[in-house]
Amino acid sequence: MAKNKFNTAWLHDHINDPYVKLAQKHGYRARAAYKLKEIDETDKLIRPGDVVIDLGATPGSWSQYVRERLKKGDGEGAGINGRIIALDLLPMEPIADVDFFLGDFREDEVLAQLEARLADLVALSPDGRCVDLVLSDMAPNLSGVGLADAARMQHVIELATDFAVRYLKPKGALLVKAFHGSGYSQIVEAMKREFTTVAPRKPKASRDRSSETFILAKGLKRPSKVSV
């Protein structure tokens, strides 16, 4: 009975959610698009010509928003000024101009596939650094066991950070999803060791009752040449 009440309450909130209605109106696949939109409008993350990596992309609303920001014109076939590479362990319906592939970012083989997609850009860059923005909306399946879930979340953020540290341009940015609670302060401290600016972001589209927050890191402290 309690479970049914919870499901009914969630469904009621979802149907009446203004961001759900906005997403439906503007063709976004999820309300999460407005989380990225608010952060981007505040922090000016996405610019024409950017190379953007979207980790944990499915169902694709972040990639949709990035594509809109990089579009050359109003027509659907206008193409983009920049590049979007997206991945997720769940399938995603195709989005024009988005290079999506299926895989678990925690696996070395999948990371190698992502790096292979960047090989042409790495070769053209004097120091191999070719990415302007790394987005991570990744979150592991939560078990309900606090310490175990915190460790899983910390692990995926560490992987995103490691990738960003390797491929971001010196003035590039990393935006990751996190949850307040056990392990949060350690995540922030680890990111501060790599970036000059690390700050939380809680967009309005992120529900108040949720512990979800986003961490924005900018400016690599120790950029070095990428080895390939």
pLDDT value at 226 more than 70 = no
Q: What is the model's pLDDT at position 223? A: 65
Give the per-residue pLDDT at 210: 84
Structure tokens at 156: 């995926």
Would you say 195 and 174 are in contact if contact means Cβ atoms under 8 Å apart? yes
- What the chain holds in terms of domains, given with CATH numbers, is 30-220 (3.40.50.150)
User: What's the whole-number mean pLDDT along residues 104-130?
Assistant: 94
29-61 confidence digits (pLDDT tens):
999 999 999 999 999 999 999 999 999 999 999
- Tokens 């499915």 sit at which residue? 58
Prediction pTM value: 0.90
Q: 63-67, 69-73, 125-129, 142-146: lowest mean pLDDT where?
A: 142-146
- Strand-pair category, 195-201 with 168-179: unpaired
Residue 6 has pLDDT above 60, yes or no: no
Q: What is the pLDDT of residue 182?
A: 78
Beta strands 195-201 and 212-220 are antiparallel
pLDDT, tens digit, 9 for 90 and up, residues 62-72: 999 999 999 98
Q: So what's the pLDDT on residue 1?
A: 46
Which residues are catalytically annotated? Answer: 177
pLDDT digits (tens, 9 = 90+) for 180-192: 887 899 999 999 9
pLDDT of residue 14: 57
Query: Is the pLDDT reported for residue 115 higher than 90?
Result: yes
| pLDDT given for residue 10 in this prediction | 43
For residue 30, the one-letter residue type is A
Mean pLDDT across the stretch 1-16? 54
Burial class (CB in 10 A: 0-12, 13-18, 19+), 76: exposed
Q: Could you tell me whether strands 168-179 and 98-102 are parallel, antiparallel, or unpaired per DSSP bridges? A: unpaired
Buried b (16+ CB within 10 A) or exposed e, 101-126: eeeebeeeebbeebeeebeebbeebe
For a pLDDT cut of 90, what percent of the chain falls above it? Answer: 74
The alpha-carbon radius of gyration of the chain (Å, integer) is: 18
pLDDT score of 160 more than 80: yes
Query: What value does the mean pLDDT of the chain take?
Result: 90
